[in-house]
Homo-oligomer: A and B are copies of this chain.
Amino acid sequence: MNGKIEVGVLGATGTVGQEFIAQLANHPWFTVSWIGASKRSAGSKYRDATQWRLSSPRPDRVADMVVDSVKPGRAPGLLFSGLDSSVAGKVEDEFAKAGHIVVSNARNHRMDPVVPLVIPEVNADHLQLLSEQAESKGWPGGIVTNPNCSTVVLAMALAPLRQFGLSKVIVSTLQAISGGGYPGVASLDIVGNVLPVIPGEEAKIETETKKILGRFIKTRIEPHAVTVSASTTRVPVINGHTEIIAVSLESNPGPRELVGALRSFSGQPQESVLPSAPKQPILYLEDEDRPQPRLDAGRDNGMAVCVGRLRACPVLDYKFVALGHNTIRGAAGAAVLNAELLKENRVVQ
């Protein structure tokens, strides 16, 4: 297959799985050669097993592939996992034991002390945990995870602020319905409405962020000292999580310094020009009424996080708005970028 690396997708029929198929359709390095899903779908053609829910067309090549069950055996070495958290823990373990590298979007292993929770621009160095993982788990493969969709947006916006003594964060999220999967949120619950909670989400934001912003020290991650308080809501938006953020910064920077830090923020994906890397990971928008999910979530193929409205906060130090595409930068695109990072760093070959 043109010298591309063969990859598989675990949970290929679900919403995240579909997004993986779409993101990988014309990928320069990877080609999908295997798809796995629950017993219900195994044995069927992908075309028949999936109710395609994306506005981008379903790639014909994959549509004709036969779905396998989620057992190691026929699967290639590199796997993307869009599995539901009810099964992801056990299944991903099995594949790692069998020698596969699993790049997972599931939440099950994110907070495992030996599993890297990676945003390539922020903490690529956390991949060093993989040796520790191999040793402590005693498996030939490995698991790398990306954060929860709302955490990605927050952690990217906060990463450039660490240098200013980031100490406290209060964030309120307005999250898109695609974050709830399919069928997910009932229309009667959200049309013309707001849901004031997303169960379990706040704890994820409050803990994952500290791990991502933390430092790798020899064999473990020292979590960042920042205290995060999250309130999550669901709003009738298709794609794009909007986050209202207030921060305390101990070094007392000026607003221009902050905007400069956001705009110049960059990491290994940009240096190595990884295929899915946005040119600028963070776009600071000047217009007072931006970012908006419908207009801005898709910036740079959905991989850029947009920030706007930076201004003084009378209670903490600054407040601003951040926005990211939850199924791309916050899920499938995040995992693909992680895989690109693994290849670039020769973890995958």
Seen from chain A, the residues whose Cβ lies within 8 Å of a Cβ on chain B are 15, 53-55, 57, 168-170, 172, 174, 177-178, 180, 182-197, 199, 206, 227-229, 231, 233, 235-238, 242, 244, 246, 288-296, 298-299, 308-309, 313-316, 319, 321, 323
A196 touches B242 (CB 8 A): yes
Given A57-B299, A170-B313, A238-B294, 9 extra CB contacts under 8 A:
A55-B298, A182-B188, A184-B186, A184-B187, A192-B294, A193-B292, A194-B292, A196-B242, A231-B321
**Chain B residues closer than 8 Å to A180, beta-carbon distance:** 187
- Distance (whole angstroms) from the CB of A162 to the closest CB of chain B: 17
With A185-B186, A187-B184 as contacts: A231 and B294 at CB distance below 8 Å:
no
**Chain B residues closer than 8 Å to A195, beta-carbon distance:** 289, 292
Q: Point out the residue from B174, B190, B244, B298 that lies within 8 Å of A187, measured CB to CB.
A: B190
Q: Name A322's closest neighbour in chain B (CB-CB).
A: B196
B314 touches A187 (CB 8 A): no
**Chain B residues closer than 8 Å to A298, beta-carbon distance:** 55
Q: Name A183's closest neighbour in chain B (CB-CB).
A: B186
**Chain B residues closer than 8 Å to A183, beta-carbon distance:** 183, 186, 188-189
Q: Give the 10 A-B residue pairs with the shortest CB-CB distance, closest first.
A: A183-B186, A172-B172, A193-B294, A192-B192, A229-B315, A172-B244, A185-B187, A187-B187, A196-B321, A231-B244
- Distance (whole angstroms) from the CB of A213 to the closest CB of chain B: 15
